[in-house]
Structure 1
């Protein structure tokens, strides 16, 4: 189906629009569900994603290099992550571990002038490497990169040039941080967010287990959050 203009989207029957983009909503919901506890219902995530889709259909305005599907992905993911936050998906003990690891990572980066290794972070937290990997493995539901972008996405990209400029600056900052990540973390981020591969698919590409890919993703997210000083 050829891309539609915003006017065509507005004129499109709502049921047809939902039917057209429902596969995208389901794909995103299943991707997010793979990082969440097993008690989270996929149907609930799909419903939240549909809320994001409806919001995207309502708000979308033409922007250079921003087609509807790219915009909708952000809104769909944002709606699902908002629901996760409301339901406190990340338990208190994991939240405490996350803050501790972010602070330790930030402190080591300032001291060493480079990204600390896994062993260096583990030692600073008085953990064995196995304990560190276990903590990484339990944080599979850590809010991913899309969520960081959504937090700073203007409510209406076309309504305020200053907001749009701020978003571009933030995107440039994220790109710079990603470029500076260790090679394995940078590759996982690229395959997951740019190539849209699941952890299992990335594991096959990198000849690792899906669990190890999850750990690497979490490790990369902690570095990014530490750089952005997100609590």
Structure 2
């Protein structure tokens, strides 16, 4: 069995490296599955994630401030999200509805100088509050990077100064956007992405229902995407 390029674990084989990191793939797949519709098979997400892991193992080059695990997580999530988009898990009409909410959110933030309330977003989009929440509920797989330009997605080689600068600028922008979120949405994002808790676990911590956590996550995604597009 051949050792793989950029091996951070000395001379273990590619097969051994895949087995070593398989639990990471499963963990990420289950996290993503927790905010997708029930008809999405988690085994399919794991399979796509394994493709991302293999890509990471073959491409990773050791460098300061970029561990293999951090690099692999990006590749694994990217492969799963690519599959979700390719299979059109979020139908076109729902994407159009989300785009309309993003535009309303962006306009209100500029006008009010703060994060708008749900009722304000719904009113600006010409929706009742129930209709607004129905749109939000139908977009549980929304991700903040769906519509980012390719140059802002983590590149295959992380040693290009221009690409590194773009990623640093994006990270700083996301940090600012996260701080502008309402408190509950900040907590959901921190617990889900930083502490890596599932929506069910986040719900337990915050004493909310998993459905409410999903709703808060989607609302946060709408605000973040609106902010990204404003600065793009």
Q: TM-score scaled to structure 2, two decimals?
A: 0.90
Secondary structure (helix, strand or coil) at the match of 1:171 reads: helix
> Is the Cα contact below 8 Å between 1:52 and 1:72 reproduced in 2?
yes
Secondary structure (helix, strand or coil) at the match of 1:11 reads: coil
The Cα shift of 1:129 comes to 2.1
CA gap of 1:146–1:229, structure 2 versus 1, over 3 A, is: closer
Structure 1 residue ranges without an equivalent (≥5): none
CA gap of 1:153–1:8, structure 2 versus 1, over 3 A, is: closer
CA gap of 1:35–1:190, structure 2 versus 1, over 3 A, is: same
Instruction: Establish whether residue 226 from structure 1 lines up as the match of residue 226 from structure 2.
Output: yes
Q: Larger deviation: 26-35 or 142-151?
A: 142-151
CA gap of 1:224–1:52, structure 2 versus 1, over 3 A, is: same
> Is the Cα contact below 8 Å between 2:137 and 2:215 reproduced in 1?
yes
Q: Which residue of 2 aligns with 1:87?
A: 87
1:170-213 alpha-carbon deviations (Å, 9 max, x no partner): 11111111112111111111111000011111111111111111
Q: Larger deviation: 34-43 or 71-80?
A: 34-43
Secondary structure (helix, strand or coil) at the match of 1:229 reads: helix
Q: Which residue of 2 aligns with 1:120?
A: 120
**C-alpha separation in 2, matches of 1:119 and 1:227:** 19
After TM superposition, where is structure 1 displaced by more than 6 Å over at least 4 residues in a row? none
> Is the Cα contact below 8 Å between 2:144 and 2:224 reproduced in 1?
no
Aligned length: 226
**C-alpha separation in 2, matches of 1:197 and 1:93:** 30
The Cα shift of 1:33 comes to 1.5
The Cα shift of 1:146 comes to 9.2
Q: How does 1:148-167 map to 2 (within 5 A)?
A: 152-158=153-159, 160-167=160-167
**C-alpha separation in 2, matches of 1:94 and 1:190:** 26
**C-alpha separation in 2, matches of 1:171 and 1:196:** 18
Instruction: Establish whether residue 24 from structure 1 lines up as the match of residue 24 from structure 2.
Output: yes
Q: Which residue of 2 aligns with 1:182?
A: 182
CA gap of 1:146–1:103, structure 2 versus 1, over 3 A, is: closer
CA gap of 1:92–1:34, structure 2 versus 1, over 3 A, is: same
Q: Which residue of 2 aligns with 1:65?
A: 65
Q: How does 1:9-20 map to 2 (within 5 A)?
A: 9=9, 11-20=11-20
Q: Give the RMSD, CA atoms, in angstroms.
A: 2.3
The Cα shift of 1:126 comes to 2.6
**C-alpha separation in 2, matches of 1:171 and 1:102:** 20
Q: Larger deviation: 27-36 or 193-202?
A: 27-36
CA gap of 1:148–1:193, structure 2 versus 1, over 3 A, is: farther
1:108-137 alpha-carbon deviations (Å, 9 max, x no partner): 111111111111111112322232222211
CA gap of 1:58–1:108, structure 2 versus 1, over 3 A, is: same
> Is the Cα contact below 8 Å between 1:53 and 1:75 reproduced in 2?
yes
